[in-house]
Amino acid sequence: MNKENAITVKDLTKTFGAFTAVNNISFEVGRGEVFGFLGANGAGKTTAMKMLIGILKPTSGIATVANFDVISHAEDVKKSIGYMSQRFSLYNDLTIKENITFFGGIYGLKKTDIKVKTQELIEELGLHDEANKLVGALPLGWKQKVAFSVSLLHNPQIIFLDEPTGGVDPITRRQFWEMIYREAHKGKTIFVTTHYMDEAEYCDRVSIMVEGKIEALDTPKNLKTQYKVDTMNQVFLKLARNIE
Amino acid sequence: MGISVKNISKSYDKVMALKDISFEVKPGELFGLIGPDGAGKTTLFRILTTLLIADKGEATVAGYNVIKEYKSIRNHVGYMPGRFSLYQDLTVEENLNFFATIFGTTIQENYDLIKEIYVQIEPFKDRRAGKLSGGMKQKLALSCALIHKPKVLFLDEPTTGVDPVSRKEFWEMLKRLQKKGITILVSTPYMDEAALCDRIALIQNGNILEIDTPEVIKNSFPKTLFKVKAAETFKLIQDLGSYELTHSAYPFGEYIHFTSNNVDFNAKDLVQYLESNGHTDIEVNETAPTIEDTFMELSK
Amino acid sequence: MKRFIGFIQKEFYHILRDRRSLFILFGMPIAQVLLFGFAITNEINNVDIAILDHSKDATTKEIISKIAASKYFSIKQVIDNEAAIATAFKKGHIKAVLNFENDFSKKLISENKATIQILTDATDPNTANTISNYTASILKNYQEDLNKGATLSYQIVPKTRLAYNPELKSVFMFVPGVMTVILMLVSAMMTSISITREKELGTMEILLVSPLKPFQVIIGKVVPYILLAVINAIIIILLSLFVFKMPVQGSFFLLGAESILFIINALSLGILISTISTSQQTAMMISLMGLMLPVILLSGFIFPISSMPLPLQLLSHIIPAKWFIIIIKGIMLKGVGIEYLWKETLILIGMTLFFIALSIKKYKIRLE
* B87: DSSP letter: -
Long-range contact pairs involving C68-71 (C-beta distance under 8 Å, separation at least 24): C70/C134, C70/C138, C71/C45, C71/C46
CA A147 to each of CA A89, A153, A157, A178: distance values in angstroms, whole numbers, following the listed order: 6, 10, 17, 15
Residues 6+ away with beta carbon under 8 Å from A188: A32, A152, A156, A157, A158, A159
CA distance C126 to C132: 10
Laid out side by side, the sheet with B3-12 consists of: B15-25, B3-12, B56-61, B64-65
Neighbours of C200 (CB within 10 A): 18
- Dihedral sign of CA atoms C83, C85, C88, C90 in order: negative
CA distance B270 to B244: 10
CB distance A240–B164 less than 8 Å? yes
Which CATH number among 3.30.428.10, 3.40.50.300, 1.10.3470.10, 3.80.10.10 corresponds to the domain B3-213?
3.40.50.300
CA distance A75 to A61: 19
CB distance C366–B50 less than 8 Å? yes
CB distance A140–B295 less than 8 Å? no
CB distance B88–C367 less than 8 Å? no
Q: Please state the φ and ψ torsions of residue B103, each to the nearest 5 degrees.
A: -95, 10
Q: What is the largest CA-CA distance in chain C?
A: 95
* C290: DSSP letter: I
User: Domain B226-299 belongs to what topology?
Assistant: Alpha-Beta Plaits (3.30.70)
Contact indicator for B135, B84 with CB cutoff of 8 Å = no
> Whose CA is closest to C46, among C77, C75, C15?
C75
CB distance B295–A202 less than 8 Å? no
pLDDT classification of C153: cutoffs 50, 70, 90: low
**C206: nearest CA in chain B?**
B79
Of B134, B295, B300, the CB nearest to A41: B134
- The letter for the amino acid at B183 is T
- Which of A149-163, C126-140, C344-358 is predicted least confidently? C126-140
Tell me the shortest Cα–Cα distance from B34 to chain A, in angstroms: 10
- How would you classify residue A31: left for phi > 0, otherwise alpha for psi between -120 and 50, otherwise beta? beta
ipTM: 0.85
* C152: DSSP letter: P
> Whose CA is closest to C186, among C261, C331, C286, C292?
C292
Tell me the shortest Cα–Cα distance from B289 to chain A, in angstroms: 14
Tell me the shortest Cα–Cα distance from C180 to chain B, in angstroms: 31
Using beta carbons and an 8 Å cutoff, which residues of B are at the interface with A? Answer: 35-39, 133-135, 160-166, 168, 189-192, 204, 232-235, 237, 250-254, 292, 295-296, 299-300
Helix (H) or strand (E) holding C50: strand C47-53
Contact indicator for B291, B251 with CB cutoff of 8 Å = no
What is the residue-wise DSSP string for C209-241? TSS--HHHHHHHHHHHHHHHHHHHHHHHHHHHH
What angle in degrees, to the nearest 10, is found between the helix axes of B134-146 and B92-102?
A: 20
* C3 interaction partners in chain B (CB closer than 8 Å): 101-102, 104
Contact indicator for B17, B24 with CB cutoff of 8 Å = no
Contact indicator for B243, B74 with CB cutoff of 8 Å = no
Which pLDDT belongs to residue B91? Answer: 95
Which pLDDT belongs to residue C41? Answer: 62
CATH architecture of C47-147: 3-Layer(aba) Sandwich (3.40)
Does the structure show a pLDDT above 80 at C302? Answer: no
* C367 interaction partners in chain B (CB closer than 8 Å): 46, 51-52
CB distance B254–A141 less than 8 Å? no
For chain A, list the contacting chains (3+ Cβ pairs, <8 Å).
B
* C43 vs A238 pLDDT, higher one: A238
Tally the residues of chain B: 300
> Whose CA is closest to B242, among B287, B278, B273, B283?
B273
Q: Which residues of chain B have pLDDT under 70?
A: none
Q: What is the pLDDT of residues C29-39, one digit of tens each?
A: 888 878 877 76
What is the residue-wise DSSP string for B56-77? EEEEEETTEETTTTHHHHHHHE
Does the structure show a pLDDT above 70 at C120? Answer: yes
Q: Please state the φ and ψ torsions of residue A217, each to the nearest 5 degrees.
A: -155, 110
Can you list the positions of beta strands (E) in chain A?
5-16, 19-30, 34-39, 60-65, 68-69, 81-85, 158-162, 189-194, 205-210, 213-218
* B103 interaction partners in chain C (CB closer than 8 Å): 210-211
Q: Where are the domains of chain B?
A: 3-213, 226-299
CA distance A55 to B154: 41
> Whose CA is closest to A156, among A82, A56, A239?
A82
Q: Please state the φ and ψ torsions of residue A227, each to the nearest 5 degrees.
A: -95, 5
Burial (0-12, 13-18, 19+ Cβ within 10 Å), A231: middle
What angle in degrees, to the nearest 10, is found between the helix axes of C2-17 and B92-102?
A: 150
Burial (0-12, 13-18, 19+ Cβ within 10 Å), A186: exposed
Burial (0-12, 13-18, 19+ Cβ within 10 Å), C311: exposed
User: Could you tell me how many CB contacts below 8 A there are between chain A and chain B?
Assistant: 91
Helix (H, G, I), strand (E, B) or coil at A215: strand
User: Could you tell me how many CB contacts below 8 A there are between chain B and chain C?
Assistant: 80
Helix (H, G, I), strand (E, B) or coil at A9: strand
Q: Please state the φ and ψ torsions of residue C164, each to the nearest 5 degrees.
A: 70, -25
Q: What is the pLDDT of residues C254-265, one digit of tens each?
A: 999 999 999 999
CA angle A81–A86–A88, rounded 5-degree value: 75
Contact indicator for B61, B19 with CB cutoff of 8 Å = no
CA distance C3 to C9: 10
- How would you classify residue A236: left for phi > 0, otherwise alpha for psi between -120 and 50, otherwise beta? alpha
What is the residue-wise DSSP string for A145-172? HHHHHHHTTT--SEEEEESTTTT--HHH
| Test the A interface: residue of B16, B196, B234, B258 with most A CBs within 10 Å | B234
Task: For each of the domains in chain A, give its residue range(s) and CATH number, in order of start.
Answer: 5-243 (3.40.50.300)
Regarding beta strands C47-53 and C73-79, do their DSSP bridges make them parallel or antiparallel, or are they unpaired? parallel
Using beta carbons and an 8 Å cutoff, which residues of C are at the interface with B? Answer: 2-3, 5-7, 9-10, 13-14, 17-18, 201-203, 205-212, 365-368
Q: Which of residues 161-190 of A touch B (CB under 8 A)?
A: 166-172, 174, 177-178, 181-182, 184-185
CA distance B42 to B49: 10
Regarding beta strands B77-80 and B226-229, do their DSSP bridges make them parallel or antiparallel, or are they unpaired? unpaired
Q: Where are the domains of chain C?
A: 2-40+169-362, 47-147
> Whose CA is closest to A224, among A215, A233, A211?
A233
Q: CB distance from B84 to chain C under 8 Å?
A: yes
CB distance C367–B86 less than 8 Å? no
CA distance B88 to B85: 8
Q: B–A contact (≥3 CB pairs within 8 Å)?
A: yes
Residues 6+ away with beta carbon under 8 Å from B150: B76, B77, B78, B182
Which pLDDT belongs to residue A244? Answer: 42
CB distance B191–A170 less than 8 Å? yes
Can you say how many angstroms the Cα of residue C319 is from the centroid of all Cα atoms in its chain?
15
Which pLDDT belongs to residue A241? Answer: 67
CA distance A78 to B143: 44
Q: What is the pLDDT of residues B264-293, one digit of tens each?
A: 899 999 999 999 999 999 999 999 999 999
* B88 interaction partners in chain C (CB closer than 8 Å): 201
| Test the B interface: residue of C2, C194, C195, C206 with most B CBs within 10 Å | C206
Of B36, B165, B235, the CB nearest to A240: B165
**A220: nearest CA in chain B?**
B254
pLDDT digits (tens), chain A, 244 positions:
445 799 999 999 999 999 999 999 999 999 999 999 998 877 888 899 999 998 899 999 999 999 999 999 999 998 899 988 876 678 989 999 999 999 888 888 888 988 998 888 888 888 888 888 888 888 888 888 899 999 998 899 999 998 888 778 888 889 999 999 999 999 999 999 887 888 889 999 999 998 899 999 999 999 999 999 988 988 988 887 654 4
CB distance C208–B97 less than 8 Å? no
CA distance A159 to C362: 50
* B292 interaction partners in chain A (CB closer than 8 Å): 170
Contact indicator for C229, C187 with CB cutoff of 8 Å = yes
CB distance B74–C13 less than 8 Å? no
Q: CB distance from B46 to chain C under 8 Å?
A: yes
Q: Please state the φ and ψ torsions of residue C206, each to the nearest 5 degrees.
A: -70, -40
Neighbours of A216 (CB within 10 A): 18
Which pLDDT belongs to residue B291? Answer: 94
Of B52, B79, B88, the CB nearest to C206: B79
CA distance C354 to C108: 67
pLDDT classification of C152: cutoffs 50, 70, 90: low
Laid out side by side, the sheet with A158-162 consists of: A81-85, A158-162, A189-194, A34-39, A205-210, A213-218
| Test the B interface: residue of C3, C5, C7, C10 with most B CBs within 10 Å | C10
CA distance B117 to B180: 14
Which pLDDT belongs to residue A14? Answer: 95
* A236 interaction partners in chain B (CB closer than 8 Å): 164-165
For chain B, list the contacting chains (3+ Cβ pairs, <8 Å).
A, C
Which pLDDT belongs to residue A87? Answer: 67
| Test the B interface: residue of A173, A174, A194, A203 with most B CBs within 10 Å | A174
Neighbours of A244 (CB within 10 A): 6
Tell me the shortest Cα–Cα distance from A77 to chain B, in angstroms: 27
